[in-house]
Amino acid sequence: MAEEQKPISESEKKKEDWMNSKWRPAMGWMYMLTCMTDFILFPILWSLLQTVTKQPITQWQPLTLQGAGLFHIAMGAVLGIAAMGRTQEKLAGANNGGAGTTTPSSGSSAFGLPTANPAPVTNSFGSQPLGGTPTAGFGSSTGFGAPAAEVTTGFGGKPAPVIPPFPER
C-alpha cells in the first residue's frame, strides 16, 4: 500500500524550519546570557560567598576569558558570519531564514563574492582600471579620467612616471 502525501500547511512548514530560522537569535541570546553571568552575576555571588564565609575577598576570574578568550573570539566569528549571512539573505529577498533562499541578481554571489561576469569598475581618481588604458593622475593637465599624455605632471609640476598598461590576460 502506498501512502498518500498530503499537502503541507503553513503551520507545518513553520514547525519544520524552526531551527533553521531561529538559530541566529538563539546564539545571540545564549552569548548575552553567558556574558551576563560570567561578568555580572558570578562576580557578585563570588564576593557575597566570600563575605558570608568570612574569607578574604579575591577577584572573580571570568571563566570565558580563560584560554586567551577563545570563547569570545569564536562567538564573535559565529555571530558576525551569521549576521553577514542574514544580511545577504535579506538583500537577496529571503524573508524567513535558511530555507528557500534565492541568489542575488546583481554581480555578486550570496556572500558578496564576485560572480563570473561582474560589472566593469570605473575609477575617476586617475588610476588605471584592469585591462584599460592608462589615465592621468591628480594635478595633471589632462584632468581626471582622461587618457594619459606622453608626459603627465604631478603635484609639484614635475614629470610623473608613465604607467605601463596592464598585460592582457
Return the C-alpha cell found at 110.
Answer: 550570496
Rank 15-24, 37-46, 142-151 by mean pLDDT and report only the highest: 37-46
Strand partners, 147: 135
Mean pLDDT of the residues in the chain = 73
Q: Which pLDDT belongs to residue 101?
A: 43
In a domain, 102, yes or no: no
Number of domains making up the chain: 2
* Residues 128 and 163: beta-carbon distance below 8 Å: yes
Return the C-alpha cell found at 112.
Answer: 558578496
Q: Which pLDDT belongs to residue 150?
A: 57
Q: What's the domain range around 145?
A: 120-169
86 and 143 belong to one structural domain: no
Q: How does DSSP classify residue 64?
A: G
Rounded mean pLDDT of 135-162? 59
In a domain, 140, yes or no: yes
Question: Dihedral of the CA atoms 42, 45, 51, 57 (nearest 10)?
Answer: 10
* Residues 162 and 136: beta-carbon distance below 8 Å: no
Q: How does DSSP classify residue 154?
A: -
In a domain, 131, yes or no: yes
Question: What is the band of 86 on the pLDDT scale with cuts at 50, 70, 90?
Answer: confident
Q: How does DSSP classify residue 65?
A: G
| Identity of residue 40 | I
* Residues 72 and 64: beta-carbon distance below 8 Å: yes
Residue where one domain finishes, among candidates 54, 76, 92: 92
In a domain, 12, yes or no: no
Q: What is the pTM of this model?
A: 0.47
Give the position of cell 588605471: 128
In a domain, 76, yes or no: yes
29 and 85 belong to one structural domain: yes
Return the C-alpha cell found at 107.
Answer: 554581480
Instruction: Give the residue with greater pLDDT, 18 vs 60.
Output: 60
Pick from 166, 106, 167: nearest CA to 135: 166
In a domain, 100, yes or no: no
In a domain, 137, yes or no: yes
Q: Is it the case that residue 144 has pLDDT exceeding 70?
A: no
pLDDT in tens, 100-120: 444 445 554 555 555 555 555
Instruction: Please tell me the distance from the alpha carbon of residue 134 to that of residue 115, in angstroms, as a whole number.
Output: 26
